[in-house]
Chains A and B, each alone.
Chain A
Amino acid sequence: MTSASRTLEIRTSPHFVSGHDVGVIMFNVVLALLPTVAFAIWAFGLAALFTLSAAVASCLATEWVACRATGREATLGDNSVLITGILYGLTLPPSCPVWIVALGGVVAVGLGKSMFGGLGLNPFNPALVGRAFLQAAFPVAMTTFSAPFGADRFGSLPAATLALPFSRPTLDATSGATPLARWKFGGELTEANELALGLVGGSTGETCAILIALGGLYLIVRNMMSWRIPVAMLGTVALASAALHALAPETHAPARFMLFSGGLMLGATFMATDMVASPVTHLGCWIYGALIGVIVVIIRAWGAMPEGVMYAILLGNAASPLIDRAIQPRVFGGAGGGSGP
């Protein structure tokens, strides 16, 4: 203490903060997604690379423009829009025309996030908002899937990828139906191990259940993701589809098929767990996950479409504020409190 006039800085306690930080959490989510991204590019080649790049670029660009236009502080540094871009790209068919990808990216971030005020305020998972828009606007492009591991996948692009805006969609010679579609429309069952390993057709990043689960485990171990949501969601789907299968094996696929097919793994691990659009309490997370699981089974079993994960999660997001209002922690020492959700 050399001088008597030293100035002290006054900031209230706590002086300590834990290591968790929004930017760090988001960065780790990106890390957890990398294996899935790598597998997608390996399985679908240049098509996946184009789709993912266009998705990420359009999302980041939209956020940048939105921040400039509204005078909001630039948020690209927190990585949350990067995650939206990657997740959004992973939900699209690999051979989706690039212009459609870009358009959906603008909707995902513009309508799904910026319009609500940016980080922390989006009621829905923004990636799914973009995907839902495309599903409604371009149903053919959204349901045209190419088969994985095409021989020339690193040498050439599917014709659709670089199609001009609003041109007639060209159906690709190599297109193949997804396992869910083959079951729904043809009664054909794909083996669970093929599904888990990602040897099947589907959206860019939904096919390899094992790598997706690996990423999820990493986040759970680092306490950056609620494990309750995927467990509740997958558990509900498993139980409900096992029950349906037992009642009517001809019309309802077994649980192992339901668990590993379509976007369920990707949705349960990385989409439904979007912190902003899911409940904050443990009990709330259980309810939310189970609700989504039930809706998935209903849509898959009786809906017109083979897949229902996207709509199920969006409905879950919509219910999340209600769940949070109904399920509050109960104060320590109050009636039944101190042990609540």
Chain B
Amino acid sequence: MRLLGLKTFRHGVHPPEEKSETRDLPIRQFPFAPVLAIPLSQHLGRPSRPVVRDGEKVTRGQCIAEADGDLSVPMHAPASGRIVRVAPMPSISGRMVDGIFLEPQPGSTQETLEGEPCPLEGSSPEEILRAIQDAGIVGLGGAAFPTHIKLRIPEGGSADALIINGAECEPYLTTDHRVMLEQREDVFTGIRYVLAASGAERAIIAVEANKPDAAAHLREGLPGDLPVSVEVLPVKYPQGAEKMLIGALLGRKVPPGRLPIDVHALCVNVATCAEIGRLLPHGRGIQERVVTVTGPAVRRKGNYRVPIGTPLRFLLEQVGVSDAVSRVFLGGPMMGAAASSLDISITKGTSGVVAFEASEAERTHQRVYPCIRCGYCVDACPMFLNPAQLGVLARNEEFERMAEEHDLLACFECGSCSFVCPSHIPLVQSFRMAKAAVRKARAG
């Protein structure tokens, strides 16, 4: 489908963008916290296994926890210093997980340890995937799915198109925007690695129309020998969802419950791609990531390169937050998760920290009315579900019926339905619970 000549998807919503305050701020290095707390499960899959002892001295970039099997990635020391302990720490979901507590050594030069480089020339696809896993790379767009698994072509499958996702459709976030502006060569190098690993013939960098500078900057620098193009997409949420991107750019629809590779496509977030291009030539691992720290409650908003494991409390102290802060979202305001405590850490999947004040929060504390069957949610759902009907069934706890008859599991929790509902019914919240209930029932 096209909109004013630009490719897009049907349905979707237009939340306020709120990117203007950080879009032009260059990425700045964030200082080390007195103690970094690095959770061992920052990714989907099995937690990493610590390979350090209490009190051990480590060098920045050194592997401190190894991958536990294939669906797992290792962790690298974000700083040179001393391991304080390995102990439980809170995670974003409120659950306690194991974490490594590291005390950066003051005055250290923080020289990064380099490992075995993975040369672009002469590396087999398996070797590249191996290197991506060894670098601890996961989807930096927020999903935190191990990238080497995502890029592995299943038996009998093939990929022809690689989509580099720079849509960044979440309000407030500008990390991908800055990465495209400041790490163009890393992005291109990353694309070379991913094309070589996947066998895809061409790459498309997808950018939403609200980042014309990024699109122009990428276009200017396109290497002549690289089969890559830049596509500008209309500003619409959730344009950056994989299925929406593949539909818009390739005209292919990924069936419910299937993966992009089933329609011969791969999607990689642009920051993930840049990280591949930055780390693999040096055999390094992920020690930090770019995070947009913003929101009405934040004083020094910006895009920061934050060491993995930086406690949220330290981060907010450094940027300064107003006393009225009441809600902190990790990720964006549409799909992100509300932080349950300030003792959680920035992880590989944290693309943004957005803090709101109490008065702001009131905007969403509106009275919940009964469903008036306006159909706004039906018009908004990019997956063409019927959220109004699902909402009724959720209230009656008919979870199995939601899944069987109304494709509940195709809901990817984008929040568009809740966003438009004039009755302020917490639709996506009830769908999350329903999905969990269905998965549990089916597993057990």
Contacts and interface: CB of A to CB of B under 8 A. Distances in A.
Interface in A66-107: 78
A25 B376 CA distance: 12
A14 interface: yes
A14 B334 contact: yes
A121 interface: yes
A232 B419 CA distance: 29
Interface stretch (B21-29, B108-116, B325-333): B325-333
Interface string A268-304: 0000000111111110010000000000000000000
Interface in A326-341: 328-334, 337-340
B183 interface: no
Interface in A9-37: 9-18, 20-22, 24-25
A17 B364 contact: yes
Contacts of A277: 373
Contact of A21 (B366, B373, B386, B389): B366
Interface in A292-331: 324, 328-331
A167 interface: no
B407 A334 contact: yes
Given A15-B327, A328-B386, A331-B410, A121 B364 contact: no
Interface stretch (B52-60, B118-126, B249-257): B249-257
Contact of B374 (A10, A275, A337): A275
A14 B424 CA distance: 11
Contacts of A331: 256, 383-385, 407, 410
Main secondary structure of the interface of A (DSSP, over half): loop
A6 B329 contact: no
Given A1-B321, A8-B341, A10-B340, A15 B333 contact: yes
A2 B342 CA distance: 13
B206 interface: no
Interface centre among A329, A332, A339 (most CB of B within 10 A): A332
Interface string B1-38: 00000000010010110000000000000000000000
A120 interface: yes
A14 B428 contact: yes
A278 B373 CA distance: 8
Given A281-B375, A340-B384, A9 B327 contact: yes
Interface string B364-394: 1010011111111011011111101100000
A226 interface: yes
A215 interface: no
A275 B373 contact: yes
Contact of B333 (A2, A4, A16, A226): A16
A118 interface: yes
B315 to A, nearest CB: 10
B432 A12 contact: yes
B254 A333 contact: yes
Interface string A104-126: 00000000000001111100000
Give the bracket for the number of chain B residues in contact with chain A. 35 or more
B229 interface: no
Contact of B316 (A1, A11, A13, A121): A1
Contact of A16 (B340, B374, B419): B419
Interface centre among B243, B374, B388 (most CB of A within 10 A): B374
Contacts of B389: 324, 328
B50 interface: no
Contact of A226 (B313, B370, B375, B386): B375
Interface centre among A118, A121, A334 (most CB of B within 10 A): A334
A15 B383 contact: no
A182 B432 CA distance: 60
B337 A13 contact: yes
A332 B384 contact: yes
B422 A22 contact: yes
A301 B219 CA distance: 66
A199 to B, nearest CB: 36
Contact of B317 (A1, A18, A24, A280): A1
A6 B313 CA distance: 10
B323 interface: yes
A280 B375 contact: yes
A337 to B, nearest CB: 6
Interface centre among A1, A4, A18, A334 (most CB of B within 10 A): A1
B354 to A, nearest CB: 8
Contacts of B415: 13-14
Given A17-B419, A333-B253, A276 B372 contact: yes
B368 to A, nearest CB: 10
B222 interface: no
A8 B327 contact: yes
Interface in B226-275: 243, 247, 253-256, 258
B420 interface: yes
A16 B332 CA distance: 10
A121 B372 CA distance: 8
A329 B386 contact: yes
A18 B420 contact: yes
A25 B422 contact: yes
B375 A12 contact: no
B371 A120 contact: yes
Nearest to B407: A331
Contacts of B426: 12
B137 interface: no
Given A21-B366, A275-B375, A13 B333 contact: yes
Contact of A333 (B243, B317, B371, B422): B243
Nearest to A330: B384
B336 interface: yes
B46 to A, nearest CB: 26
Contacts of B335: 13-14
A120 B373 contact: yes
B200 interface: no
Contact of B364 (A1, A15, A276, A340): A15
Contacts of A16: 15-16, 171, 333-334, 364, 419
Contact of B423 (A14, A22, A281, A334): A22
A119 B371 CA distance: 8
B169 interface: no
A14 B340 contact: no
A9 to B, nearest CB: 5
Given A2-B323, A333-B253, A18 B419 contact: yes
Contact of A13 (B336, B372, B379, B410): B336
A119 B369 contact: yes
Contacts of A120: 369-373, 423
Contacts of A330: 384
B361 interface: yes
Contacts of B320: 1
Interface of A: 1-2, 4, 6, 8-18, 20-22, 24-25, 78, 117-121, 226, 275-282, 285, 324, 328-334, 337-340
12 contacts: A8-B326, A9-B361, A13-B329, A13-B338, A15-B334, A16-B171, A17-B363, A17-B419, A22-B422, A78-B369, A281-B386, A329-B381
- A-B pairs with lowest CB-CB distance, top 3: A120-B370, A14-B415, A280-B375
